[in-house]
A = this chain, B = another copy of it.
Amino acid sequence: MTTLVLVAHPHLADSTSQQFFKASLPATGVTWEHLDAQPAFDIAAEQDQLRQADRIIFQFPLYWYAAPASLKAWEDTVLTRTFVYGDHRYPLAGKELGIVVTTGMPAKAFQRGGVEGQTLDALLAPLAAVAHRARMTWLPTLAVHQFGYLTEAQKLALVVDYQRYLTQPQPDTLANRQAWFADRLASMVQGLTPEQRATGELIATTFDDHRSSLDELTDTLAMIKETEDD
């Protein structure tokens, strides 16, 4: 799978969260682009990049309840009507659109009665409408609230969540999570020294064995939960 991450941030070097995300990028399969760094967009190149991606991520801090202006400038320039839905060709159809958004306010601010009075989902309506028009699949948003106050343990978990958000097949089921971890485990074992590799392979095999029995248990549990009344 190929993922394109488009980052909108006017002061990227000063952003600890964006630097964190950049350092957390998976080693392969991801193209990362900083929109504000471009004096003008190369429309053909940008459109080509979109065509080649399976998953497209808009990544930005929430400024006045939307992305910074650079993302809108990119949309207004690169997403020409002819490209997105002209002549009933829909080159983005079926691709996934995900949002990685950081906010200065806590999660609870984004609800009716909260300080912001609106859900993040409601605020992202214009981007969801773009996905709808382009016949893309909208992914559940990855929101990171008050990054600066995360503990080290929370940041470590965020590295994995972020990598999964960029590269794990959707939907985010246990089965897909397990397959993603098994993949990562396999490639980590490849990178081990010969003396470590035997242990690594043993761990990977054990993981795979447990995965099968866990799958069965999970399916049964999910079925029970879904048929139960609240």
Contacts and interface: CB of A to CB of B under 8 A. Distances in A.
Interface in A122-138: 122-123, 125-130, 132-133
A10 B129 contact: no
A76 interface: yes
A66 interface: yes
Given A117-B132, A133-B116, A126 B64 contact: yes
A63 interface: yes
A100 B193 CA distance: 65
Contact of A66 (B10, B117, B126): B126
B69 A72 contact: yes
Interface in A77-133: 79, 116-118, 122-123, 125-130, 132-133
Given A125-B123, A129-B123, A72 B76 contact: no
A72 B79 contact: no
30 contacts: A10-B76, A63-B75, A64-B72, A64-B75, A64-B76, A64-B79, A64-B126, A64-B129, A65-B125, A65-B127, A65-B129, A66-B66, A66-B72, A67-B72, A68-B72, A69-B70, A69-B72, A69-B73, A69-B75, A72-B72, A73-B73, A116-B132, A116-B133, A117-B129, A117-B132, A118-B125, A118-B132, A122-B122, A123-B125, A125-B125
